[in-house]
Structure 1
């Protein structure tokens, strides 16, 4: 089922953040967790889902992704901590 979503991944030490957008959140996070996607997330072992937002339209999800990518790290940290104070992996919440 297609459901636009914006998500933030980090590595195990929470040092690196990755902001992405997808139409299938569980499939996309699975791909990150199994290192099936070449590039930044594979190189830096970024596979822990710490934040996500569901959107009704892909246009709004893409706009939000662009907004978050332009945010300072501190703002992203505050956003994540606001809903996931311990920065736990939310993978089990979406499968």
Structure 2
């Protein structure tokens, strides 16, 4: 997964392996990660437990990304877990990769 592009991105955050998931989209993944990291000061995502970026994918248009988010949210949880584990078997936090690629 390349984090060097700054496009419409679908991402999945998890509070732990197999834990609660947040599936969303953003136009700037590195900025969104920074917002989550500083949520205590800004109020952004304040009610969420500490989250790690476990999956992301880029799309050419916002509509395509929004459709993908809707699809992922409709999936059975086991399918979403498999999607994550196919690319990130240990559910490691991918945020550092994204932030280093800016």
Query: How does the TM-score come out when normalised to structure 1?
Result: 0.87
Structure 1: which 4+ aligned runs deviate by more than 3 Å? none
Check whether the contact 1:18–1:46 (CA below 8 A) recurs between aligned residues. no
Q: What's the CA shift string for 1:10-37, capped at 9, x where partnerless?
A: 1135410000000001111111122241
Rounded to whole Å, the distance in 2 between the matches of 1:13 and 1:85 is 10
Query: How does the TM-score come out when normalised to structure 2?
Result: 0.81
- Aligned match of 2:81 in 67, 77, 81? 77
Q: How does 1:33-52 map to 2 (within 5 A)?
A: 33-35=37-39, 36=42, 37-38=44-45, 42-52=46-56
Q: What's the CA shift string for 1:24-72, capped at 9, x where partnerless?
A: 011111111222414xxx3231420000001111110010011001111
Q: How many residues align?
A: 92
CA RMSD of aligned residues (A): 1.7
Unpaired segments ≥5 residues, structure 1: none
The structure with the largest alpha-carbon Rg is: 2
